[in-house]
Structure 1
Amino acid sequence: MDKYNSEGYPDPTAAEALENVMREEKAKKYKPCVFICSPFAGDTARNLENARRYLKFAVEQGAIPFAPHLLYPQVMDDCDPDQRKLGLFFGMVWLRKCDELWVFGSYISAGMQAEIDKASKHRIPIRYFTEKCEEHSCNEEI
């Protein structure tokens, strides 16, 4: 980006305006990375089925989703406390790299609450959805 005018003088205002226009154009093409936050433990078969549905929903919304509870249990034992702790840590690392946290369902597990707290602490936008993938505010009864 040229920060000088045609006479060679610095022109930061014009340069900033052009950078803003370019940023907006890029944003139109940009797909946000979203972290899928939903229950895993308990009824794992049902929870994994739901997580796959939430992942598909995020793709349909034009996002690039990441669901650690669909990935790490394939190679780590969630019943082993050390492996579970490591898997949760891995998820938190990925959360920091995402643009948004999408929370699904009315039940918030301890692991989900930790993800919500981490996103809040780092000012990562949080969106709330029902199990039917309908968006709502976190204060609404679902």
Structure 2
Amino acid sequence: MGTLKEDIKTQSDWIVKAFAADGLTLDYSIKSFIEIDKFFNRNSTPGKAKRGGRLTNKLGSTVFSIGSYIIETIMKQVPDAVLFTDDEAADGEVTMSVTLPDGGVIFPVQRVMKRFKNGEEDSIYVYGHQLTKDFTKEPFDESYWTMNNAKGEIKSWWKFW
């Protein structure tokens, strides 16, 4: 096992290949965070891995890999973003952070954990876009509202079941 910075690169590359096997394309764009939301919708319900889904085994390493991909993407897309890792910390995999040019600090692995726990309300795409839009000038992809679940269905706001 290398340093956290080395592990971030290795695991980010791994998750890109793993998602490709499921027909999900991660291309290091903020828009590709939609694919992460699709992945969670296919493989989990809030706080639980779906039986037979990709999260039933090795949940922790998958969460770390997705968080690593988010870090790598933000580092590529946001000029002057700064990664902080602490190889000595017992919880270093969870407390890795990125400081944005405006001074905001984000914790991508913790956000992925929240996405798993709470579901779509903690969307990775909406989060990533909001945090980076002033730096990337990337417009919000309105197709998110139809692609944000595994079936591509739009859930009526008034349906609670």
Q: TM-score, normalised by structure 1?
A: 0.28
More RCO (CA 8 Å, sep 6+): 2
Which has the greater radius of gyration? 1
Q: TM-score, normalised by structure 2?
A: 0.26
Larger helix fraction of residues? 2
Larger strand fraction of residues? 1
